[in-house]
Amino acid sequence: MRDLVRQAPLVLQVTERFRELIRRGEWAVGARIPGEHQLAGELGVSRGTVREALRALSTTGLLEPRIGDGTYVRATDEITGVLVRDEVAAGLTVVLDARAGLEAAAARLAARQAKSDAVAAARLAARQAKSDAVAALEDALAARAAAHEARDRAGYVAADAAFHRGVVVASGNPLLLRLFDAVEGVIHQSIEDTAVFPEDPDVRDAHAAIVRAIRTGDAEGAVAASYGLIDGVKEYM
């Protein structure tokens, strides 16, 4: 761990080192990290430097100091950390409404992307297989349906989470994906909180409608289906 350079401020270097440990999962969410004395010895810096770095990461919500118990990892991303720290995501309705906006925007872009690909294929007078993104959505839908049939709640939640991330992947927008991944923890929890057996048929059909709209390049249909899905979940709950 002792390979810090002296050109940049040590506190910034140590802060980034700790952030990287969290990002790589070496300091896992929910785990207690080593104490200041141990960290200072491993890095060859003062405890004051370590303390300032830990304080900076606590301010962003990545770490949570607990008096008399040590410091724990609270999130892997600053956006998620702020949500958890400020309890912005405490209300399920708040999360669902935010999901609707994010996923509708992604679905619209994905549909436009699919339409552009179809036009390009037509110009080339060639048939093309379904895009990897749409195929992944259909695979997630199939896994979701199979888990529902088997009453496999964990499998159902995992498949549903994969589906919704897949919609954002299909958008082709890296910033939307970055935002989705930043709040993936609260999104996953919202899926967990709203997963019921048997599911509402309207919610099931809305998932299929999103894929159909993306595949056919129906941007407005993709938006409507995305909002309709979340509205259906809220009404069912």
Cα distance between residue 13 and residue 223, in whole Å: 44
Q: Which fold has domain 10-84?
A: Arc Repressor Mutant, subunit A (1.10.10)
Residues 197-232: tens digit of each pLDDT: 999 899 999 999 999 999 989 999 999 999 989 888
Residues 2-16: tens digit of each pLDDT: 555 455 588 999 999
Q: Hey, what long-range contacts does 193-196 have (CB within 8 A, 24 or more apart)?
A: 193/92, 194/92, 194/96, 194/233, 194/236, 194/237, 195/153, 195/156, 195/157, 195/160, 196/236
User: Rounded to 5 degrees, what are φ and ψ at 101?
Assistant: -65, -45
- Evaluate if residue 86 carries a pLDDT over 90: no
Neighbouring-strand partners of residue 70: 66
Residues 105-164: tens digit of each pLDDT: 999 998 887 655 554 444 443 334 346 788 899 999 999 999 999 999 999 999 999 999
Domain boundaries defined on the chain:
10-84, 87-236
- Residue 137 is predicted with a pLDDT of 93
Instruction: List C-alpha distances in Å: 223 to 80, 101, 217.
Output: 25, 9, 11
CATH superfamily of the domain spanning 87-236? GntR ligand-binding domain-like (1.20.120.530)
Residue 200's nearest CA partner among 221, 229, 172, 171 is 229
Lowest average pLDDT, out of 19-23, 180-184, 219-223, goes to 180-184
